[in-house]
Amino acid sequence: MTTNPRSRAVIVGVQLKGVSDAEHESSLDELARLANTLGLEVVARITQKRDSIATAAVVGEGKLREIAALTGGPGAVPAHHARHQKKDDDEKDAKDETPAPVAIAEAKRASVVLVNHDISPRRTRNLELATAAKVLDRTAVILSIFQRHARTREARLQVEIARLSYEAPRLRETGGDDRHGGGIGGKGAGESALQLDRRKIRDRVAELRQELDLIVQEAGTRRQRRAAHDTVALVGYTNAGKSSLMRALTGGDVLVADQLFATLDTTVRALHPESHPRILVSDTVGFIRSLPHDLVASFRSTLEEAREASLLVHVVDAADPAHEAQLEVTRDVLADIGAGTTPTLVLLNKIDRVDEARREELRVLHPDAIQLSAKSPADVAMLRERIISFFEQDMVEEEVVVPFREQRLVAEIHAACRVLSESYDESGTRLRLRARPEVIARLRAEV
């Protein structure tokens, strides 16, 4: 699923019944951004309104010719490949009956067709035959981006599992009815080439899952060690500005790029300037509409950071016209992973790109949301105080006396509580502190 960085691409979308023009255009815009992230140049959009996706090649015959004129293909599915096409696919609407545009010069042809839907292997093959171009459906595009951006071993394993799961049903026989004998000590006697390839993929996925399970166990152990700390997870749609906010809140060296899915690996840093008690902030993988189920399943361990967090900061790109739909997508994914009831601060980021009239509209739509820009130090400082205030709301003020023989506990108290005052007398170190009741109870038990 790799592509030439300078390849030209045509986007193909079917506006199904019940989908508004605005929703359809927003979805196509998003696919265009995904294409740009892959380094593709989108040269055209071919869209069609239909009750359902055409059985043979996604769109009707007229639209198929339009695509082929841009890619240099024959513009039709060979008869023996299209024999299962439904009758209604042969009925062309008014747009389909318009002559196909004159084919463009070879140097300007598109070599990739991006389909804004998940399509079957047969439709993919038919569309490739009709257009003479590489065809990627929406899931294939997202998988390609994930594969390119995966940096850690865990992320690479997760993406590889999802990729193989996607490709397994799309394998095609390349030869005749060849059979592979088992031989002495061999396996799979009588298997066809296709069956053998699919079994190899199943075996490889099982091997990858075993390796991933070990990494997940190690990650779980690290989360357990962090359990004593207050934790915040930044969640939201891809490219909403989570990594920029992460860098601003923690001062950490976090990758920031104006790309979809620039961050696939979970990063954990302490809030900076450091608070007492310490608060840890994690940056998580971004979401997108129709995120492939295999990717959600593979990245479930990464998303555990969000499920285990004490507070979620839901980052939204306030300047994106589709931000309402993006809000819902993120909420749906959070509910799916068991984080739907976690306390959440909604953050309308990139507010510096929004005029005052729109800001007022957003205040009415989201009265409890925080409007800010991750580029504004004052806004980030305000958010930091809101986060600290959230964790302090259940704190109580107490005095604890630590005997001199237990002075080792003083450092632990400074790490786990906000120390308001510290003095010494004949009984030991006297500390006035604020902390949650369960923390104070544990400390009293130790002294």
Q: Which pLDDT value is given to residue 179?
A: 47
Which portions of the chain are predicted below pLDDT 50? 3-5, 86-100, 173-186, 255-258, 262, 264
CATH architecture, domain defined by 8-144: 3-Layer(aba) Sandwich (3.40)
Q: How far apart are CA 110 and CA 71, in angstroms?
A: 5
- The pLDDT tens digits for 2-23 are 544 468 999 999 999 888 898 8
The CA–CA distances, whole Å, from 249 to 123, 142, 422 equal 47, 29, 29
DSSP 419: E
Q: How far apart are CA 366 and CA 349, in angstroms?
A: 13
On whether the CB atoms of residues 15 and 59 are closer than 8 A, the answer is no
Burial of 281 (0-12, 13-18, 19+ CB in 10 A): buried
Q: Any residues with CB less than 8 A from the CB of 278 and at least 6 apart, and which?
A: 229, 230, 270, 271, 415
Q: Which pLDDT value is given to residue 222?
A: 67
On whether the CB atoms of residues 8 and 40 are closer than 8 A, the answer is yes
Q: Which pLDDT value is given to residue 396?
A: 86
Pick from 36, 94, 40: nearest CA to 63: 94
Q: What are phi and psi of 419, to 5 degrees?
A: -85, 120
What interhelical angle do 138-149 and 153-167 show, nearest 10? 160
Q: Which pLDDT value is given to residue 362?
A: 95
Q: Which pLDDT value is given to residue 131?
A: 94
- The pLDDT tens digits for 374-420 are 999 999 999 999 999 998 888 888 888 888 888 888 888 887 788 89
Q: How far apart are CA 294 and CA 283, in angstroms?
A: 21
Query: Is 229-392 in the same CATH topology as 8-144?
Result: yes
Per DSSP, what are the bridge partners of residue 260?
A: none
On whether the CB atoms of residues 62 and 28 are closer than 8 A, the answer is no
On whether the CB atoms of residues 135 and 127 are closer than 8 A, the answer is yes
Q: How far apart are CA 341 and CA 206, in angstroms?
A: 33
Give me the amino acid identity at 385: E
3-state helix, strand, coil in the chain (%, to 5): 45, 20, 35
Domain ranges of the chain: 8-144, 151-222, 229-392, 396-446
Pick from 67, 5, 1, 70: nearest CA to 36: 5
Q: Which pLDDT value is given to residue 367?
A: 95
Question: How many beta carbons lie within 10 A of that of residue 152, not counting itself?
Answer: 13
CATH topology of domain 229-392: Rossmann fold (3.40.50)
Q: Which pLDDT value is given to residue 90?
A: 45
